[in-house]
Amino acid sequence: MIIGKIKKNEKKIKFQLDLFCTKCGKSVPGGMQASENYYDSDSFKIEIDNFKRNYLCGICRDAKKIKEKKVTYF
């Protein structure tokens, strides 16, 4: 997954995060990419913290989507 914006000729940094689903606690692969300039910035650190805090694994994400679709309005 790419964090932030990467311009066409900008160097990319690949890194690993220890990611866990915030709902079920399952460990998931955390291969990420960011631009070299964005990687050391404060906004990068904030975005990573928010990403970790709100991350759902595929199973929990799909369950949430199905639950939201079942809601009917009359």
pLDDT tens digits for 11-65? 999 999 888 999 999 998 888 999 988 888 899 999 999 989 999 988 999 988 8
pLDDT in tens, 1-11: 888 888 888 99
Distance in angstroms (rounded) separating the CA atoms of residues 1 and 31: 7
Model pTM score: 0.70
pLDDT at 24: 92
Q: Does residue 74 sit in helix, strand or coil?
A: coil
Q: Which letter does DSSP use for residue 35 in this model?
A: E
Q: Given this model, what pLDDT does residue 74 score? A: 56
